[in-house]
Amino acid sequence: MKKKGGKFILNRLYPVRYLGKFKEGFSKPQLFLMSDGKEYLVKFKENPQGTRVLVNDWVVGRLAQLLGLPVAPFELTYFSKYDFKKFSDLYRYGFKPGHQFASKLLKDCTGLWEPRSNEKIVNIDTLPGIIVFDYWVNNTDRDTGNVLLEKLSDHTNYLHLIDHGLCFPGYANSIEMLKQVPRNLLNQAAHTWAVSQIENPKSLLKFTEKVLALPSEKILSVINTIPDDWDVSSSEKKALYQYLLSAKKALPFLILKFIDKYFDKDESDD
């Protein structure tokens, strides 16, 4: 991905074949075979949930990558007017050409509601970080369907995080909504499950320190990669940046509150 004249130019990933509408998702994601030979779920501009869910998926996904969390592989892709004519079904959903958010389709996966969740998860050590991260970005949608377990060849599982469209207060990223950092617990089903898998709650505090140590410049650089045609103004980008800095400051309080509610005091003191 490179930038030219204020616009992103993508020459690596482009649509090859339309595979139809994906069966789930309020944003009406579409399934495509892309130029790398892999299948992707593509969220489009002007989907029913709004273009801002693409912004959130992109920004939150990039931040998760910076912190080493197992977010499912994703890319920016570009659908031209020619692509829309070629795949004319896209018009009937009200989508618009331009940059879109493409998440690699993970096969042989289940959510946490399946019995597979009782089998060995090779990256189980990421659970404290997932909880802390969700509190930083105010992820109100970490249900059991947004944590996928991929079956590996040795019959173990690898945990992937998906769908970050409903992060940040009000998730639409309005300047006014971003002025306030939530101070309440999120009460997410996946977090409750994760608590049962975490041996020492101090691991949440350790990852909190990792978030606090993330340089502001890196956060700003992620925000500056938002494509111009997703119509996020410079004022809105600034508000999002300031929110993430303020939320970092509030994070220790929220995580201590979380530990106090979900862990026994004896565990917290170990």
**Res 40: pLDDT:** 97
The structural domains of the chain, with segments of one domain joined by +, span: 2-262
Structure tokens at 70: 């197992």
CB 111 within 8 A of CB 151: no
Q: 79-83: list long-range contacts, CB under 8 Å, 24+ apart.
A: 79/15, 79/42, 79/44, 83/14, 83/15
**Res 59: pLDDT:** 98
As a three-state string, the secondary structure of 112-155 is CCCHHHHCCECCHHHHHHHHHHHHHCCCCCCCCCCEEEEECCCC
How big is the CA angle at 75 (ends 93 and 33), to the nearest 5 degrees? 60
pLDDT tens digits along 152-188: 988 899 999 999 999 999 777 789 999 999 999 999 9
Q: Report CA torsion sign: 219, 186, 55, 158.
A: positive
**Res 2: pLDDT:** 45
Residues of the chain below pLDDT 70? 1-11, 24-25, 115-118, 265-270
Q: How far from the centroid of its chain's Cα atoms is residue 109's Cα?
A: 17
**Res 132: pLDDT:** 98
pLDDT tens digits along 51-67: 999 999 999 999 999 99
